[in-house]
Each structure stands twice: as structure tokens, then as C-alpha cells.
């Protein structure tokens, strides 16, 4: 029986985690949530079904919330989530949010994990995790994926603890984020360093960027604030307002940029 891992990623941390788990859980396949959302009603996965994604504003990314709400899990024998996160203390409210979604579908969440990795969220007051820490974080994340795989393979019940499971989403304005994120891309801009290479549009997991007269335009339709366009621009010409001008850029070095 095939086991399925659905992932959503911006700069590669969650994709890497999904691949690492799949490598150690027998008969696993890795599937992009972003690429599959339009056809999600056609999925009815069996076996162990996992969802791997980053923590956004101490909760589920909007696209992940929509995907889990829509997918048929009635044939799944085991359901789990693995959430990558950066420098924030505590890990977020993803467990309680996922349990609530699944409860409405009559499905049990069997296990949930938080995987600490390099932080790429640079829209507020912090920068990318210092480069000197990246190697250790990547190694620890890979080891954590191995531990997750063992628990999933045994189909055991297990839940990582988050000290901000309920307070985090409130403090970080999660509900407002969910309501506004798809159209909250108006602050993205580019400098004269833009070479019209088109990579930003290629790596946008939700196809929210189109090109006009050789330059990117954000559509304000399906943005997730994953920041793939900003971090992966080869000339670092994309900014979000002015706050990101002096901030570092990041991509997980262990995955390819395309396809996401």
C-alpha cells in the first residue's frame, strides 16, 4: 500500500523534510499540495498520509488549511503532520488547528511533529537565521525526519508539544493573516537589477506572479507569503516594501528550486 506525503514549501525546508521522511517510510510518494489543490477532490489516499508544511503566523498556511479541509481521508489508515519552523519560541497552533479540521471530517490526527530549521521570514523585525547555524539546523532537521519516519512506520500516536499552541496564533494575528494573505502582496516590488529571467514566476507555488512587458506583476489572488519569489531571485532585486532591503536571502541547499 502506498503512503503519501503532501507538502507545501516556499524556500525548500518543508520539501526537504518531506523527502527525508519519505526516504525512510516504505512505499512513500511525495506530492505538492500547491500543484494538486485544483484536483484535490480527486484524491483519496490510503495508508499513512502526512502533511508537511511551514508554520505561518503560528498556524497553518492558508493553502494547507484549504487542502486538508478538502481532501478525502476516509481511506487513510494513519494521518500526521510535520511542521517546519524557524526562530520563534514555541512552535505554533498547527496541531489544534489540524485536529479541528479533521474532527469536522470524522478523522483522527494520529501524530504531529515540529521540525526546527532555518528561519526565512524576514517581513517583521528579524532576519534569516545566521549562516553559521545553518549546517547544524539542517543536520538536526534530517535527524528529526528520521525519528518521525520511525513513528510513522509504526503508526504510533505521538504529539510534539508547543508552548504557544493556543496563545501564538492570537499574539501573531493569525486570523487576520488568513483573511488577507491572498491579496497582501501589494508591497512586493523589484529594482532595476531585475533581468526579466522569470524565475520568480516559475518558483511561485501558487502561480500568483505574471509577467507584463518583461517584468513581474503580483496578481493579488493566491499569494501565501511564502517569500519564494523574494528569496530565490538570483539578483536579489525583489523586496517587500523597504523592510527586506538589508535582509539576507535563503534557500534550502539540499533541494532543487524547480519544481516545487
Is there a contact between 70 and 104 (Cβ–Cβ < 8 Å)? no
The confidence band for 164, taking pLDDT boundaries of 50, 70 and 90, is confident
Asked if residue 89 has pLDDT above 70, the reply is no
Cβ-in-10-Å burial (0-12, 13-18, 19+) of 127 comes to: middle
- E strand or H helix at 64: helix 62-70
Residue 185 has a pLDDT of 98
Could you report the per-residue pLDDT of 165-194, keeping only the tens digit for each?
989 999 899 999 999 999 999 999 999 999
pLDDT > 90: percent of the chain? 91
Average pLDDT over residues 229-255: 97
Question: 133 to each of 21, 86, 117, 150, 255, how far by Cα in Å?
Answer: 22, 12, 10, 26, 18
Ranges for all domains in the chain classified under CATH 3.30.70.20: 182-240
Average pLDDT over residues 26-41: 96
Residue 258 has a pLDDT of 67
- Report the distance separating Cα 182 and Cα 231, nearest Å: 19
| CATH for 182-240, options being 3.30.70.920, 3.40.50.720, 3.30.70.141, 3.30.70.20 | 3.30.70.20
Fold of 3-169: Rossmann fold (3.40.50)
Question: 128 to each of 73, 77, 228, how far by Cα in Å?
Answer: 36, 38, 13
Among candidates 20, 18, 9, 15, which has minimal Cα distance to 49?
Answer: 18
First-last CA distance in the chain: 25
Grid cell 535582509 in the structure block, residue: 247
Ranges for all domains in the chain classified under CATH 3.40.50.360: 3-169
Amino acid at each position: 500500500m502506498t503512503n503519501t506525503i503532501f507538502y507545501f514549501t516556499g524556500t525548500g525546508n518543508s520539501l526537504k523534510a518531506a523527502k527525508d521522511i519519505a526516504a525512510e517510510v516504505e512505499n512513500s510518494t511525495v506530492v505538492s499540495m500547491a500543484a494538486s489543490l485544483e484536483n484535490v477532490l480527486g484524491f483519496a489516499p490510503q495508508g499513512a498520509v502526512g502533511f508537511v508544511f511551514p508554520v505561518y503566523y503560528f498556524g497553518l498556511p492558508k493553502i494547507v488549511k484549504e487542502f486538508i479541509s478538502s481532501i478525502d481521508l476516509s481511506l487513510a489508515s494513519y494521518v500526521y503532520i510535520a511542521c517546519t519552523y524557524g526562530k520563534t519560541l514555541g512552535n505554533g497552533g498547527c496541531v489544534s488547528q489540524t485536529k479541528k479540521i479533521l474532527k469536522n471530517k470524522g478523522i483522527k490526527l494520529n501524530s504531529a511533529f515540529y521540525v526546527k530549521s532555518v528561519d526565512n521570514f524576514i517581513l517583521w523585525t528579524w532576519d534569516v537565521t545566521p549562516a553559521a547555524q545553518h549546517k547544524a539546523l539542517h543536520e538536526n532537521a534530517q535527524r528529526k525526519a528520521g525519528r518521525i519516519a520511525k513513528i510513522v512506520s509504526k503508526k504510533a500516536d505521538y504529539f510534539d508539544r508547543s508552548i504557544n499552541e493556543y496563545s501564538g496564533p492570537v499574539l501573531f494575528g493569525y486570523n487576520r493573516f488568513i483573511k488577507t494573505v491572498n491579496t497582501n502582496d501589494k508591497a512586493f516590488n523589484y529594482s532595476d537589477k531585475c533581468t526579466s529571467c522569470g524565475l520568480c514566476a516559475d518558483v511561485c507555488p501558487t502561480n500568483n506572479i505574471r509577467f507584463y512587458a518583461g517584468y513581474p506583476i503580483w496578481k493579488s489572488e493566491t499569494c501565501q507569503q511564502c517569500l519564494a519569489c523574494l528569496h530565490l531571485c538570483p539578483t536579489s532585486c525583489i523586496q517587500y516594501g523597504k523592510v527586506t532591503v538589508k535582509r539576507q536571502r535563503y534557500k534550502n541547499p539540499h533541494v532543487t528550486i524547480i519544481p516545487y
